[in-house]
């Protein structure tokens, strides 16, 4: 009887193995559409909205589509459009130029009779950021080093006295600091920093917070690089070790008062936040005066700003637009042309496009949009840039009813785009001379930028180049994938209207990309 039972058990084991093999084979036979649909069928995921488009770059065949013609909020996937247009129309070798000028004269005694004007032309990297970007953002301990270099150059030219004012001039772009559809909450932080043609330190100050030495005392709060710009109302209390941290920071629009409250425990290592400034040009004027005076230059005038208001734009565009190509100017052929006393030229534009896409830098993307309008359109305005962008997308074969943009960064909640339009853009870019450079500015899965900590379980991590996007209830990822069988694919995945933990939605997106990567292997197993 024992032998009979052993025979039955062996037979049952064989049957179970065959059944399992059949099920595994059936699973491997599932199409890409079936496998993606299985992911999206989860009860918590079906409550939101999904838009997906996956296309083979070699054949043009649609590998998967779901709501690909419907409009979604793209968040920072908007930057794909802005940066592609900039590389195509302005070029990767473009340089920004920042100068210090005067309409006065400098005598042999070092006295400058006239105003000293710091002129910005859109350089987004007048900061301590190290370029070229490598894996992550690196900052030196000298966030105002470019202004210091300009101040040193003035001293080397012999400037000792300035009879006039210190003017910070950001009129290269219109005085249009914020985008339409931006949330008021965003304007306090680096993500919503005001846009200006004269941008210092990404138009933020760094707030450093440390616990006091005793519980009950106020925490230590300091600002850099310009500690006097904001008035600090510090209500942060140091609490006993192990009590947990709760920090709140508020700045009302138009105010230069930072209010901090909450608690920080004694054993807290400290916190750092980047807080947006109010008027970048005013910030630059005050800072530049301090740098000059620290070098022994006496300034007898006051600090002023020079903006281009939208109301006066028609006059501005006709009479006072500076030359193109980063403000490169010919020799002083006219008597009233300013005397350039100091200048700084940026690294090539491609280096900043890499920063924009790798870390999703909003301010730099907004500067790029205005630069498109300034260099290739009618004016350095949001609408001027959007008009140029629409022309570029028309050339790329993307119909106007497939998108609606209000800014260049994706911070606006009024932006709309279809997944199909994103894939069309990616497909068009891949066929252009600048296409490889454009792709290389995108984060690489598991390696750098906003994808450095994702797709760790996918063996060939470097085969995924993708631009992330994130707003409340919005998570997106679009880019390029090479499948296990070497097929080049463009994809767009947009999720909207979710009330789920961020990780849950990101895991679903990453699972979809994983299925795209393995799609070629699944096809091979079915042959």
Hey, is 44 helix, strand or coil? Answer: coil
Rounded distance, CA 242 to CA 216, Å? 14
CA 507 to chain centre: 23
Residue 30, in any domain of the structure: no
- Domain check: are 444 and 508 in the same one? yes
Q: 396: closest CA among 423, 371, 376? A: 423
Give me the residue label for tokens 């409550």.
47
Q: pLDDT digit string (tens) for 1-38?
A: 555 555 555 555 554 445 554 444 444 458 999 999 99
How large is the average pLDDT for residues 136-142?
80
Say which range, 20-29, 290-299, 387-396, has the weakest mean pLDDT: 20-29
Q: pLDDT digit string (tens) for 183-207?
A: 988 888 999 999 999 999 999 999 9
pLDDT of 318: 36
Considering the chain, what is the average pLDDT of its residues? 89
> Among residues of the chain, what percentage have pLDDT more than 70?
87
Hey, is 332 helix, strand or coil? Answer: coil
Q: 148: closest CA among 222, 226, 229, 228? A: 226
pLDDT of 26: 46
- Domain check: are 101 and 59 in the same one? no
- Domain check: are 266 and 398 in the same one? no
Residue 13, in any domain of the structure: no
At 319, is the pLDDT very low, low, confident or very high (cuts 50, 70, 90)?
Answer: very low
Q: pLDDT digit string (tens) for 420-442?
A: 999 999 999 999 999 999 999 99
> Among residues of the chain, what percentage have pLDDT more than 90?
77
How large is the average pLDDT for residues 81-107?
97
Residue 324: pLDDT over 50: no
Residue 489: CATH number of its domain: 3.40.710.10
Judge contact between 139 and 276, C-beta under 8 A. no
- Domain check: are 190 and 76 in the same one? no
Q: 98: closest CA among 113, 117, 73, 79? A: 117
Residue 4, in any domain of the structure: no
Rounded distance, CA 271 to CA 367, Å? 29
- Domain check: are 220 and 148 in the same one? no
How large is the average pLDDT for residues 342-367?
97
- Rg from Cα positions in the chain: 28
The DSSP call for residue 80 is H
pLDDT of 462: 62
How large is the average pLDDT for residues 264-284?
94
Element (H, E) at 109: none
H, E, C per residue of 301-320: CCEEEECCCHHHHHHHHHHC
Q: pLDDT digit string (tens) for 216-261?
A: 999 999 998 777 889 999 999 999 999 999 999 998 888 889 999 9
Rounded distance, CA 297 to CA 398, Å? 55
At 485, is the pLDDT very low, low, confident or very high (cuts 50, 70, 90)?
Answer: confident
Helix axes 362-376, 78-89, angle to 10 degrees: 40
On the CB side of 517, CA atoms within 13 Å amount to 20
What's the total number of domains in the chain? Answer: 3
Element (H, E) at 323: none
Structure tokens belonging to residue 457 = 């379980």
Hey, is 21 helix, strand or coil? Answer: helix
pLDDT of 12: 52
- Domain check: are 396 and 433 in the same one? yes
Residues forming beta bridges with residue 98, ordered by sequence position: 344
- Domain check: are 392 and 486 in the same one? yes
Rounded distance, CA 179 to CA 14, Å? 66
pLDDT of 252: 86
- Domain check: are 200 and 260 in the same one? yes
Residue where one domain finishes, among candidates 311, 346, 381:
346
- Domain check: are 368 and 509 in the same one? yes
pLDDT of 7: 56
Structure tokens belonging to residue 353 = 């496009």
Judge contact between 198 and 150, C-beta under 8 A. no
Residue 315: pLDDT over 80: no
Residue 299: CATH number of its domain: 3.50.80.20
Structure tokens belonging to residue 22 = 């059949």
- Domain check: are 467 and 409 in the same one? yes
Cα 389 to Cα 78, 171, 369, distances in angstroms: 11, 22, 8
pLDDT of 11: 55
Rounded distance, CA 480 to CA 462, Å? 11
pLDDT of 310: 81
Residue 156, in any domain of the structure: yes
- Domain check: are 338 and 370 in the same one? no
pLDDT of 95: 98
At 312, is the pLDDT very low, low, confident or very high (cuts 50, 70, 90)?
Answer: low
Rounded distance, CA 213 to CA 192, Å? 34
Residue 221, in any domain of the structure: yes
Residue 387: pLDDT over 70: yes
Residue where one domain finishes, among candidates 296, 331, 346:
346
N-to-C CA span, the chain: 46
- Domain check: are 147 and 288 in the same one? yes
Hey, is 331 helix, strand or coil? Answer: coil
Please give the residue range of the domain that contains residue 73: 35-90+348-520
Residue 234, in any domain of the structure: yes
Judge contact between 211 and 240, C-beta under 8 A. no
Residue where one domain finishes, among candidates 300, 320, 346:
346
Name, in order, each residue with C-beta under 8 angstroms of 385's C-beta and a sequence gap of 6 or more: 368, 369, 370, 371, 372, 373, 374, 377, 408
Residue 262, in any domain of the structure: yes
The whole-model pTM stands at 0.88
CA 502 to chain centre: 19
Residue 24, in any domain of the structure: no
Cα 369–Cα 477–Cα 122 angle in degrees, nearest 5: 20
């Amino acid at each position: 009887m024992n032998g009979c039972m052993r025979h039955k058990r062996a037979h049952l084991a064989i049957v179970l193995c065959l059944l399992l093999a059949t099920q595994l084979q059936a699973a491997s036979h599932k199409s890409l559409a079936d496998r993606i649909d299985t992911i999206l069928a989860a009860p918590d995921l079906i409550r939101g909205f999904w838009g997906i488009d996956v296309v083979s770059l070699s054949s043009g065949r649609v590998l998967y589509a779901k709501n690909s013609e419907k409009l979604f909020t793209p968040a920072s996937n908007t930057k794909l459009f802005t940066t592609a247009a900039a590389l195509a129309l302005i070029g990767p070798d473009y340089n920004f130029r920042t100068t210090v000028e005067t309409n006065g004269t400098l005598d042999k005694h070092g006295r400058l009779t006239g105003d000293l004007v710091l002129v910005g032309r859109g350089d987004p990297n007048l900061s301590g950021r190290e370029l070229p970007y490598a894996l992550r953002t690196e900052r030196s301990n000298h966030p105002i080093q470019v202004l210091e270099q300009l101040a040193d150059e003035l001293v080397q030219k012999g400037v000792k006295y300035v009879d006039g004012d210190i003017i910070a001039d950001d009129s290269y772009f219109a005085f249009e600091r914020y985008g339409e559809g931006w949330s008021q909450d965003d304007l306090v932080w680096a993500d919503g920093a005001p846009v200006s043609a004269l941008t210092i330190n990404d138009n933020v100050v760094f707030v450093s917070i440390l616990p006091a030495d005793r519980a009950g005392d106020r925490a230590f709060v300091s600002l850099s690089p310009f500690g006097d710009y904001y008035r600090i109302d510090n209500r942060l209390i140091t609490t006993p070790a192990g009590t947990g941290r709760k920090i709140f920071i508020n700045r009302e629009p138009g105010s230069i008062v930072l209010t901090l409250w909450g608690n920080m425990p004694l054993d807290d290592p400290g916190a750092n936040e980047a807080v947006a400034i109010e008027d970048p040009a005013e910030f630059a004027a005050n800072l530049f005066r301090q740098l000059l005076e620290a070098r022994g230059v006496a300034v007898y005038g006051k600090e002023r700003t020079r903006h281009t208001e939208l109301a006066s734009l028609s006059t501005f565009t006709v009479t006072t637009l500076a030359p193109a190509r980063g403000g490169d100017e010919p020799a002083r052929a006219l008597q009233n042309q300013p005397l350039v006393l100091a200048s700084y030229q940026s690294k090539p534009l491609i280096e900043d496009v890499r920063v924009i896409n790798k870390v999703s830098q909003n301010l730099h993307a907004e500067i790029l949009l205005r630069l498109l309008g300034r260099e290739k359109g009618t004016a350095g305005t949001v609408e001027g840039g959007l008009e140029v962008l629409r022309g570029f997308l028309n050339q790329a074969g993307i119909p106007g009813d497939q998108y609606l943009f209000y800014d260049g960064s994706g911070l606006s909640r009024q932006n709309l785009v279809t997944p199909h339009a994103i894939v069309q853009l990616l497909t068009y870019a891949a066929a252009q001379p600048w296409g490889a450079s454009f792709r290389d500015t995108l984060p690489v899965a598991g390696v750098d930028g906003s994808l450095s900590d994702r797709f760790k379980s996918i063996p060939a991590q470097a085969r995924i180049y993708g631009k992330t996007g994130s707003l409340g209830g919005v998570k997106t990822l679009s880019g390029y994938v090479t499948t296990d069988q070497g097929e080049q694919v463009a994809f767009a995945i947009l999720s909207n209207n979710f009330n789920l933990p961020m990780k849950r939605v990101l895991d679903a997106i990453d699972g979809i990309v994983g299925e795209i990567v393995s799609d070629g292997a699944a096809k091979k197993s079915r042959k």
